[in-house]
Structure 1
Amino acid sequence: MNILVTGGAGFIGRWVVDRLLKDGHHVWVLDDLSNGRIENLEDLRNHKNFIDFVNGDIKDMQILNLLFINNFDICYHLAASINVQDSIDNPRMTFNNDVIGTFNILEQCKSNNVKIVFMSTCMVYERAWGEVGINESNEVKPASPYAGSKLAAENMVLSYFYAYDLPATVIRPFNTYGPYQKTGGEGGVVAIFLKNKLAGKTLQIYGDGNQTRDLLYVEDCARFVVETGYSNKVNGEIVNAGLGEDISINELAKLIVNDNNRIQHIDHIHPQSEIPKLLCDYSKAKTLLNWEPNFTLEEGIKKTEKWIKTTKLL
């Protein structure tokens, strides 16, 4: 197939591109490199089926008009402003990228009959209660403009499925980590903790550290993303993906450094946007896609630490 990946130079996008190439598809990538890095694609761009990288913005209609001439079968739409703290500080930018940008992609998909897989987020959910995981019918709570923008875009994507019969799927991966994730301020907690561990620095935890996360290894996430595009069973559906286990940030820090003297609690920058408990129920993905994670948290952390030790992409 001919496939477009927006945000394909990003952390998860890079792995989606890798998976699609391995599956034998022709791949185009659109990314403005505001968050992604061209270096993420360095080992993929020489692949015979990597057709083109376009450095461009999903808000630029001229670029989209030219790009969609290529008769795509699927558009994996991952391009977005993804930082929760940035969305609180600058909600307009997040809204423009995540809602207006998604609308532009939807219009192109509608005009060219291209299936869209829209990457949303677990951050739209309120919280998990007890040991029961969050499923797709759980309450949502847009506690940040990032979550609010993703919910708005989700509704637009599903409206095109109902109003125009456009093949469309909304996916909500839980907290994804692994190689190629940034290890700085915009990175995920696993990458930041591992980088600080290897640098001999203290691991800093926002708040009391009792908040939990369901941590999904990136190769499992990319396989989920790609397979939602292949299946008609999830058209018009919202689908979760996660490990199905949660861990507190305190426990995660101890798992990574095993030294309480190297763990420090600091004040939360935006405590109002914190979700106390994230635990995924991925039974819908298992039923409809036969998908489930292959990597344990311990395996994923080892693979990520090994990558950080050997890479220059920090």
Structure 2
Amino acid sequence: MRKVFVAGAAGFIGQHLVRALVSGGVSVIAQVHQRQVDFGPGVQTVTADTAAETLLQDCDEVAWLASGTTPAGSASDPLLELGSNLAPLLKLLQALQSQPGCHLLHVSSGGTLYGDVDHPASESLAMHPRSYYAAGKAAAEHFIEAWCQQYSGTATVLRPSNVYGPGQTLHGGFGVIPAAMSCLRDGKPMTLWGDGESLRDYLYIDDFIAACMAALRQPPQHGMHVFNVCSGQATSLKQLLALIEQVAGRTLQRDQRPVRMVDLRRVLLDGMRIRHELGWAPRTSLHDGLQRTWQWLNAIQP
């Protein structure tokens, strides 16, 4: 039986990935930081202070989803990126030096790495991080590539657009969809930065998990392989909020503020490489994804 080590398993994406792996008959070691999650049978849960060298001995693959910051959270404190994200990843890479046959799946960022673009960014476009958060993601990719080159490692890096869906809670002000829906449910105004014309790509969680599973099923040859993962649909903030209001049947109160330095105007991704090489494509429309997310939010306790 295949065994996968999942770091960041208690997070939004991590919980969905663990469930998908278990459903596929995969044995999982789930590493959690503070939040405890009952994953049920077939999952061994460990804490972040457990030595990676011991955990990786019998693993075929590692899925690295651990992230302790947000773009706004580390905006004035770059050391947060070092302590929360880079240092734990470097410990993992050090452990992987003796296990080059262990495939590494790393979830990076497509929404922050490329900077403002005039057309959908392909994976070959140079990275232009504007925030410390994005700079940390770029640094992580460089370290992973160095590990691949020095120790004949194999890594798949996924750069997702804005992933949303059931299970996503508001964390550090990160996530416009859970923020808007929470405000609508609670009848509170939502703080909005900028004029609402900024463009983003929104990807439903089930579609992103399908991309992760496709990458884990088809480990590439030696080296680092990068894929954008996106819906391919550019949506302005105004359009997004209008769709959310339509799904909820309510009007969102807005508290408009000036744009911030860390905010990007146009974040557009080219997702053709993953379609061609891994056979993946998104299946969920933005309307349907928002509807499922709103139904989930109203089914849980406020």
TM-score above 0.5, yes or no = yes
Alpha-carbon contact 1:253-1:263 (below 8 Å) kept: no
Does 1:20 pair with 2:8? no
- Aligned match of 2:236: 248
Matched position secondary structure for 1:280 = coil
What's the CA shift for 1:156?
0.9
1:226 corresponds in structure 2 to 213
Deviations, residues 260-283 of structure 1 (Å, cap 9, x unaligned):
772331234xx2211111122110
Tell me which residue corresponds to 2:105: 117
CA-based RMSD of the aligned residues comes to 1.9
Query: Aligned residue for 1:303?
Result: 292
Separation of aligned partners in 2, 1:249 and 1:232: 36
Q: Which is helix-richer, 1 or 2? A: 1
Q: Provide the rounded CA distance (Å) in 2 between the counterparts of 1:260 and 1:250.
A: 13
Residues 230-281 of structure 1, C-alpha deviation per residue, up to 9 Å, x if partnerless?
213475211100110111112211221257772331234xx22111111221
SS in 2 for 1:111: coil
Residues of 1 paired with 2:158 and 2:84: CA distance?
18
Q: Is this contact kept in 2: 1:109–1:115, CA < 8 A?
A: no
Partner SS state of residue 123, structure 2: coil
Please say if residues 4 and 60 of structure 2, whose CA atoms lie closer than 8 Å, have aligned partners that are also in contact.
yes
Partners in 1 of 2:141 and 2:66 — Cα distance? 14
Amino acid at match of 1:256: I
Q: d(CA) in 1 for partners of 2:123 and 2:95?
A: 27
> Within 1, Cα distance between the matches of 2:90 and 2:171?
30
**Which of residues 39, 46, 59 is equivalent to 1:54?**
46
Matching of residue 170 in structure 1 with residue 171 in structure 2: no
- What's the CA shift for 1:287? 0.5
Give the match's secondary structure for 2:219: coil
Alpha-carbon separation, structure 2, partners of 1:172 and 1:222: 13
Change (3 A) 1:141 1:96: same
Residue in 1 that maps onto 2:225: 237
Letter aligned with residue 53 of structure 1: T
The Cα of 1:162 is off from its aligned counterpart by: 1.9
Distance 1:233 1:121 in 2: 20
Give the aligned residue type for 1:189.
V
- Structure 2 counterpart of 1:292, from 281, 284, 291: 281
How far 1:110 sits from its partner (Å)? 2.4
**Contact 1:203–1:253, Cα closer than 8 Å, also in 2:** no
SS of the residue aligned with 2:98?
A: helix
The one of 172, 177, 180 equivalent to 1:190 is 177
How far apart, in 2, do the equivalents of 1:203 and 1:255 lie? 15
- Check conservation: 1:127, 1:134, Cα contact below 8 A: no
Aligned 8 A contact 2:70 2:174 in 1: no
Q: CA deviation at 1:164?
A: 1.5
Tell me, in whole angstroms, the C-alpha distance in 1 between the residues paired with 2:296 and 2:28. Answer: 25
Pair 186,95 (structure 1): closer, same or farther in 2 beyond 3 Å: same
TM-score, scaled to structure 2: 0.91
1:267 has 2:268 as partner: no
8 A Cα contact 2:184 2:251, kept in partner: no
Most deviating of 178-187 and 1-10:
178-187
Q: Residue 94 of structure 1: CA displacement?
A: 1.4
Q: Which residue pairs with 1:205 in the alignment?
A: 192
Q: Cα distance, 1:102 vs. partner?
A: 1.1
CA–CA separation in structure 1 for the residues paired with 2:24 and 2:71: 33
TM-superposed deviation, 1:67 = 2.2
Secondary structure of the residue that 1:209 maps to in structure 2?
A: coil
Q: Unaligned stretches of 5+ in structure 1?
A: none
